[in-house]
A and B are shown apart, each in its own frame.
Chain A
Amino acid sequence: MSPREKTRVPAATVEAAPDFASYYGRPILKQPTWKVPDVPLYLFSGGLAGASAVLAELAARTGRPSLSRVARLGAAGGAVAGAGLLVHDLGRPARFLHMLRMLKPTSPLSVGTWILSPFSALGVAAAASAVTGIAPPLGRVAGLGAAALGGPMTTYTAVLLSNTAIPAWHEARREMPIVFAGSALAAAGGLGMLGAPIREIGPAVRLGVLGAAVELTATAVLERRLGFIGEHYRRGRAGVWMRAARASSAAGILGALLGRRHRPVAVAAGAALLAGSAATRFGVFEAGRASAADPRDVIVRQRARDERRQAASPAPGAAETSEPRMGRASARLPGRGAGEGAEGTSAELSVLSSSPTDDDGGGTAKGGRHAATASGVDPPRAADPARGRPRCGRRVRQHPARGGIAP
């Protein structure tokens, strides 16, 4: 090998071998194309709107007109803002009405459209009636309708996220509705504390504290139960959001319990609960994005599942059981350097000298040498590029079409 070629061929980088094979470290799944802040902000505003609609109805019926009005405005505002965010998030916003072409129970987005659309209409009608005083009976009916859809508004978005192939969302399907419900209740309670006079905020305080407590607990359970996939909720951007959410919600709980008789404290606590709720949504969303980008989540889990199944019922002729653990690759790394260093020239040369007749002659000659592997012994995986990170700059000057085929 000439010195020039030596510099061209990168030295083997000895790094900790990943415990799974992948295609150049590329993710298996596609990243969600949902935009930030559109979608996480909608998760927040939709939850706020849903819980507020229920709160508004009960406040109206228990003689708390101010709390009811704030909650009605929250429901209407959250729903309208949410619908706007969702339309903005579409790749073709002008086609948003295509969402109403069908109602499809297997699509949480379709079901959600049919929850959000009437909810927005009813919520806006109820709020308009409450603010303007026009047609109170109709306003009451609309408010009741919005309240009936309020519960589903808070939890359908959890199904929306969980019903994807993204491990950090799909595997969290048990906890996600509870996290989102708690987050929605905390937000609605927070908004009530923020906007209603002290004498009426009692229920809002209790709701905010309860919601934030549920949010904190369910998130902790979710992160723990997910095992290594739960790491995505603790690391990177998601980790920052989740930590901010925890701090904010905890501060909100504390403020709500201590300062419910002091308006400034109640306002601050309400704002903290709202911020905590929003941060949770951003954190959950970012965790899903990170999980989609990480091939490990998909491969390691599915590989383990696949191996369990194969062990239970070995398919005829399956070579799976005789394969060594992939972790062994790291033990063979020294050999990898030698192979890499030499490949530049020899690959080139042998391709140049190879001819169609090579295929026949080579085939018989190789037969004996390969007999060992045929009997089930696995080939060494040391320098297998597919099992390592993407290694740029690796060049083998060989035209694949030069080789023959044996159909």
Chain B
Amino acid sequence: MTFDLDARLAGPLQDPAGEAGYGPHPPRMGFFTDTSVCIGCKACEVACKEWNAVPEDGLQLTGMSHDNTGGLGASTWRHVAFVEQTAPPPVDLGMPSVPQGADEGEREMRWLMASDVCKHCTHAACLDVCPTGTLFRTEFGTVVAQEDICNGCGYCVPACPYGVIDIRPGDGRAWKCTLCYDRLGAGQEPACAKACPTDSIQYGPLDELRERADARLAELHDRGVAQARLYGRDPADGVGGDGAFFLLLDRPEVYGLPPDPVVTTRDLPAMWKRAALTAAGVVAAVVAAFVGGRR
């Protein structure tokens, strides 16, 4: 394998685990979350918490529909978003919906529900910037944080373009979805996928999931759901494609996802170059300050 710095930091990369140095290893595993069949039951949130022993993340009512966890965080590794739109769905998917408004024939509310999770990026900024080696690439191509290494420097937090990983208050370390690394090792599927009653969360080899997602998207487009789109599926996107990708029924930002995320380390070589040049400039400036005095 040839060493290619650019492929290391951004762009399409077929095999992140191999690139990370694994010899023979299992295929890259991931999630395909088909939000068109999500019913917002939050079984994934509960299963995740139960299996991973994730502590309580606050018991408050946000006023954001049925969403009372708000977003992903150190103690929320699966998060179900609830979007209420007063717009007719183009085609009935059997989604829960009720007619409303003065003229019921014209107004209808549609629900968008989506279970969000760490994207396990091909080029993971959190992993790239972690100075301690806490975050690492597993043999399954996923990104996992080791709690016995993390010293809570917090660099991964603003580095993540999706705002997933966070420091747990009172604990001081960074936490996020591990894609149930322990279960994967035992040949089991992650707890959230296991618990999902509608197969909205599908787990499997990423190549297979991508084929399945393409077929589902084509099916939805055939049925007239022109708004359906895949998010994080494209290996040529700013993070090299996501290990956990989605089928959405509206623009990503409606679900709280960035429309076009880019791994920050894509620009790192240029930044280092500029910093090195400027550092040389600092020395030159000090020299100039002394030379100027000798005149």
Contacts and interface: CB of A to CB of B under 8 A. Distances in A.
Interface stretch (A76-84, A169-177, A222-230): A169-177
Contact of B94 (A108, A399, A406): A406
A359 B85 contact: no
A203 to B, nearest CB: 4
Nearest to B125: A165
B281 A181 contact: yes
Secondary structure dominating the interface of A: helix
B171 A163 contact: no
A369 interface: yes
A66 interface: no
**Which of A336, A359, A386 has the most C-beta atoms of chain B within 10 angstroms of its own C-beta?**
A386
B118 interface: no
B109 A391 contact: no
A138 interface: no
B283 interface: yes
Contacts of A281: none
Nearest to B283: A151
B153 A177 contact: no
B98 interface: yes
Given A26-B71, A28-B258, A370 B92 contact: yes
B264 A170 contact: yes
Contact of A385 (B83, B165, B256): B83
A306 B229 CA distance: 13
B279 A181 contact: yes
A211 B282 CA distance: 9
Contacts of B64: 24, 390, 392
A22 B254 CA distance: 5
A58 interface: yes
Contact of B133 (A32, A102, A203, A396): A102
A164 B253 CA distance: 20
Interface string A380-407: 1111111100111110101111111111
B285 A346 contact: no
A287 interface: no
B21 interface: no
Nearest to A205: B289
Contacts of B174: 91
A335 B18 CA distance: 55
Contact of B253 (A33, A151, A299, A391): A299
Interface string B100-115: 1110110101111100
A207 B289 contact: yes
Interface residues of B, number: 120
Interface string B226-261: 110100000000000000000000110111111111
Interface in A145-191: 147, 150-152, 154-156, 158-160, 162-166, 169-170, 173-174, 177-178, 180-181, 184-185, 188-189
B285 A211 contact: yes
A182 to B, nearest CB: 9
A31 B73 CA distance: 11
B1 interface: no
Interface stretch (B47-55, B179-187, B269-277): B269-277
Interface of A: 20-24, 26-34, 50-51, 54-55, 58-59, 62, 89-93, 95-96, 98-99, 101-102, 104-110, 113, 147, 150-152, 154-156, 158-160, 162-166, 169-170, 173-174, 177-178, 180-181, 184-185, 188-189, 202-204, 206-207, 210-211, 288, 292, 295, 298-299, 302-303, 305-306, 309, 317-319, 322, 336, 338-339, 342-343, 346-347, 350-351, 354, 359, 362-363, 366-367, 369-371, 373-376, 379-387, 390-394, 396, 398-407
12 contacts: A30-B73, A99-B131, A174-B274, A181-B279, A181-B281, A181-B282, A206-B289, A210-B285, A288-B158, A346-B99, A370-B88, A386-B254
Interface of B: 9, 37, 39-41, 62-67, 70-71, 73, 81-102, 104-105, 107, 109-113, 125, 128-134, 149-155, 157-167, 171-174, 198-199, 217-218, 221, 224-227, 229, 250-251, 253-261, 264-265, 267-268, 270-272, 274-283, 285-290, 292-293
